[in-house]
Structure 1
């Protein structure tokens, strides 16, 4: 998204948080309704254009939305749609993208309200690692030849032990996996959870799992470096041989033995 659209989305999320705060327990239902609207808009380009057509008076666009969605979504979600229709989005698909983000934020708001945001963040991370390492499962859940309902049902069965919020997000990532890769969608959810909790997210891969003391030490180092609270999530990757690779946002700190060996081999090639 361009800067203008990002700013509009940020304002919408802030306002929507206020609405959800007064409607505790409705977050998952609201998210499902928002996602359904996003799907409808993406499947109907003419409707998506009509809703955003700035040459048409906002009152007419509001009437169009109310005619279509009254009785199909809650009054709060309908009011949200009207608000979003009044935004001058930079790109046609920005409205649908914003709805995706608002659906995710609705779910995370519910998790935060019941004190489970950290749990959801960790579960999403573990699900992403599982899918990265289990290629057949990842391909099955992303198979566009399978009906989205069938893939969603499979995701529910696989991740049945996770919290309701995590399952809802994983199912959504599965349903939309033809639009972006499954693991990248889950990564966005993890980042969104970390941002909502107001901390940075550090993904640490290592040849041997870190001890609790090592994780705490690394956390303190990263917090001192970034000047912000950091959560450290660690997963096992024997291919690294030794050391660790750390991802914090777009930053990558590679101190693995495998990378050092690769660098040495490259240097030998240059000298030969």
Structure 2
């Protein structure tokens, strides 16, 4: 979900509006759910989406239609933000739905209050569960199964075991906005970390790091990137010693297998 130009500006301004109006907890959970539903409706109703983003129309006309569609159906905060969104400029029509969905993700993060790091860890754990269980991943990605059926499967696996926001975001991932379920969960982790002023680093090692080593690595990465870095660790026997760190688009590969590959390439060359 990469918004640019006027769309990026509009999303930034709408995010500021939400920050001033939201309360953590159940209120934010409701707003997050409603924003996602609005985004889904905008995607399924192209005529409404085009009208709400038509730059040739006055903002008041676009906002008036949105208010008619959603009057009495949304929390006051959701209603105000969606109305505001209809009065703003968008680079393309589909950007409105994407922005409203991103706002739902940010609101889900707000709902957990001080548990943002727990949310990041739970999303990571769910992603690893999907990687380790291809049958589960295939069941959740199967287009022949309804969203309701897939949501019920997630409920059976996660309800009462994770934060409500983790389960809500997992269900949102079923909507197909992102290419894959694991891709959606990775994007949500990034959103959650960035909302708290952090970055997320995935660390692949041959054996689990000690608490001391984790603290040293997090401190070193934080100094390098100028912000707090939250570590998610994956133990992989194929690493063959050392570690591989992935943070954003950067990859720091200090594994033995990587060095062996480099040596082989040099010998062949």
The alignment's TM-score, normalised by the length of structure 1, stands at 0.92
- Is the CA contact (8 Å cut-off) linking 2:25 and 2:112 kept in structure 1? no
Q: Distance between the aligned counterparts of 2:226 and 2:45, measured in 1? A: 45
Query: Which residue in the other structure is 2:185 paired with?
Result: 186
- Is the CA contact (8 Å cut-off) linking 2:204 and 2:245 kept in structure 1? yes
Query: Which residue in the other structure is 1:16 paired with?
Result: 18
Distance apart, 1:103 and its partner CA: 0.5
- Is the CA contact (8 Å cut-off) linking 1:206 and 1:237 kept in structure 2? yes
Query: Which residue in the other structure is 2:198 paired with?
Result: 199
What RMSD, in angstroms, separates the aligned Cα atoms of the two structures?
1.6
Q: Distance between the aligned counterparts of 1:58 and 1:181, measured in 2? A: 35
RCO comparison, higher one (Cα < 8 Å, 6+): 2
Query: Which residue in the other structure is 1:100 paired with?
Result: 101
Query: Which residue in the other structure is 1:6 paired with?
Result: 8
**Structure 2: gaps spanning 5 or more residues:** none
Distance apart, 1:179 and its partner CA: 4.3
- Is the CA contact (8 Å cut-off) linking 1:208 and 1:236 kept in structure 2? yes
- Is the CA contact (8 Å cut-off) linking 1:69 and 1:78 kept in structure 2? yes
Query: Which residue in the other structure is 1:217 paired with?
Result: 216
Aligned length: 266
Distance apart, 1:165 and its partner CA: 1.1
Q: Could you say if the C-alpha distance between residues 30 and 253 of structure 1 is closer, same or farther in structure 2, counting changes exceeding 3 Å?
A: same
Distance apart, 1:178 and its partner CA: 6.2
- Is the CA contact (8 Å cut-off) linking 2:29 and 2:111 kept in structure 1? yes
**Structure 1: gaps spanning 5 or more residues:** none
- What is the DSSP-based 3-state SS (H/G/I as helix, E as strand, rest coil) of the residue aligned with 1:208? coil
- Is the CA contact (8 Å cut-off) linking 2:22 and 2:28 kept in structure 1? yes
- What is the DSSP-based 3-state SS (H/G/I as helix, E as strand, rest coil) of the residue aligned with 2:65? helix
Q: Distance between the aligned counterparts of 1:24 and 1:252, measured in 2? A: 36
Q: Could you say if the C-alpha distance between residues 256 and 100 of structure 1 is closer, same or farther in structure 2, counting changes exceeding 3 Å?
A: same
Q: Distance between the aligned counterparts of 1:211 and 1:251, measured in 2? A: 24
Q: Could you say if the C-alpha distance between residues 149 and 43 of structure 1 is closer, same or farther in structure 2, counting changes exceeding 3 Å?
A: same
